[in-house]
Every structure is written in C-alpha cells, then in structure tokens.
Amino acid sequence: MENYKKIIEDIYLDVKNVNDIGKVANYIPELAFVDSNSFGINITTINKESFGIGDFNTKFSIQSVSKVLSLTLAYKFEGAKLWERVDVEPSGNPFNSLLQLEADLGKPRNPFINSGAIVICDVLLSHLENPKEDFLEFCREVSNIPTLEYNEKVAQSEKSSGFRNTALCNFIKSFGNIKNDVDAVLDFYFHMCSLEMTCKELSEIVLYLADDNFTTHKGKRILTMSQAKRVNAILLTCGFYDESGEFAFRVGLPGKSGVGGGIVAIHPDKYCIAVWSPKLNVKGNSYKGMLFLEKFTSKTASSIF
C-alpha cells in the first residue's frame, strides 16, 4: 500500500492541474448541479487496506456503475440462462443507442449499455418482491455499508427527461424481451442509476470481483469464481461502451464508468480503485478519471496485461 499511496499522491497532483477538456453531463438536469472540479480517488486492496485522496469521501451519482451490481444480482438469480436475454458482445456504439436493437431482434449486445441494463432491470423485477428496496438491501449487504441510498431528486430528474430510455424499453418490449410493465421497469432503472456512493464506498463494493475468497460480513459468497471471471470479462470488453477498447488499451483493467463522472476498475487478486471527476469526454467517460487510471497502472506496472 505504501507504494500505491506515494504514486497516487503524485499522479493526483499531476492530473488535478491538467486542463480538463470534458463536460459535465446535463441531459439529466439534476446532474449538472455538481461541483465540476471535484476530484477524488480511493484504492482498496483485497486485504482491506484503503487509501483515498481529494474528494474521496464525497457522495456522487454512480449512474451506470450501478449496472455492475444489477448484473451481479440478476446473474445470481438466473445463472447462464441470463445470456438468452442479453448478449456479451461489445456494442461499438454509444451507451444509449437504439441502432443495433432492430437487427438483433431486441436482444441487447451487453448488460452495460442502457438497453442491456434495462433488460437486466426487467429480469430483477420478475424475481424481487420490492425491487427498489430489495436491490438497495443487496448493495448494502455486499458493501457492508448500511447507509447507501438512492438520490430521489436524481431519479425523478432522469424520469422526466429519460426519453431515449423510455424509447429503448418500449422497443425491446415490442420484441418480447421485456416481461414487466414498461413504467415499472423504467422507474426501477432510474432509481438504480441514482445510487450515490463515495469513491471509498465504490472501491469497497466491488471487492467481490477482485477477491476469489470474498464473503460478506454474514459469510455469504456473492458470485462463484467462474461467474466473477465472466463479469470481469464483460467489464473489460464492454464497461466503457464504444470506448472499451481504448480503456483496455490505455488502462488495462476491467472497469465501469458512469455519467456522474465515476469510474471503478478492478485488478483481480489485488485491488479495486475508484476515481471521480464529473467532466466527461465525448464518449461519456470521465476525462480525468481515465487519465488518472492510465498513469496509475503504468507507474505501478499493475494492469492485467
């Protein structure tokens, strides 16, 4: 950890002063109120050693990073049958694209683009009695952080402006790949995306993907080793939409971004690291977040390649 700490401190100062060419997401109006200069990092190793710097203890909207957790819960329920509803191929298209769905007959390319995450929400709706409460409870149990919450304002803000997601959900339903009521699926999806966490919390909640021996404080496993391997594989190939190749090329870790400016990356058998900087590049990924992680895996020589 001492080695990581010094390197993180140095890169933090270096990247903090870089001219940020990104822009804060404002298509969800509530997200635009964030302090755009926020910048935080937290690393947690599989031995539970932790180090944070900058705004690592400030909560932010994790948005699409929540799709790692929804996929995990749906995978637990369905096992390999899940892949009949959603594929595991990179899309090469923006996260909110409708383009491929018609040719693919309503089967989304992967669970991390919006269409795929909406199908995953539908799967969860079929399994959970009180979807919003039960999903939140699952996140609290995985992380052992009982204070995790949705941000109702962000959820409502996205609901009132989520025209593309509404279109996606209706379109997929026309192919029969949404089983529940469209409004119920979307309400759950918007709440899931509104989850708030700090960098510290985010780096802790995905430890089950880094540590083969991970169990919750109640002694429960989250995924089998084989399932965790597969989720990491989809994160590597699809976690950054049409910039997944670029992230693998520059950073070399499985990871997931969100339009709130958060990124979490996983080094299997070593650590999880979360970075938050709200200004996004044109692909919707945090500009400074990617830059930080590129420098971090280069200086520590700790990518999976």
Single out the residue of 70, 96, 143, 281 in contact with ligand GLN (rule: CB under 6 A).
96
DSSP per-residue letters across 78-117: HGGGGGGTS--S---S-TT--HHHHHTTT--S-TTSHHHH
Contact between residue 40 and residue 55 where contact means Cβ atoms under 8 Å apart: yes
45 versus 66: smaller Cβ distance to ligand GLN: 66
Single out the residue of 193, 209, 251, 290 in contact with ligand GLN (rule: CB under 6 A).
193
Query: In sequence order, which ranges of the chain are alpha helices (DSSP H)?
Result: 2-16, 66-78, 99-103, 114-127, 131-143, 152-161, 163-174, 182-193, 199-205, 225-238, 244-250, 287-299
Contact flags string 160-189 toward ligand GLN, x per CB under 6 A: -----x------------------------
By CB under 6 A, how many residues form the interface with ligand GLN?
11
- Residue 203 sits in the site that holds ligand GLN (CB under 6 A): no
> Taking CB positions, which residue lies at the least distance from ligand GLN?
64
- Residue 284 sits in the site that holds ligand GLN (CB under 6 A): yes
Task: Determine whether 157 is exposed, middle or buried from the number of CB atoms within 10 Å of its CB (0-12, 13-18, 19+).
Answer: buried
Q: CA-to-CA distance for 151 and 205, rounded, in angstroms?
A: 18
**Contact positions with ligand GLN (CB under 6 A) in 230-269:** 258-259
Contact flags string 98-137 toward ligand GLN, x per CB under 6 A: ----------------x-----------------------
In the complex, which residues of this chain contact ligand GLN (CB under 6 A)? Answer: 63-64, 95-96, 114, 158, 165, 193, 258-259, 284
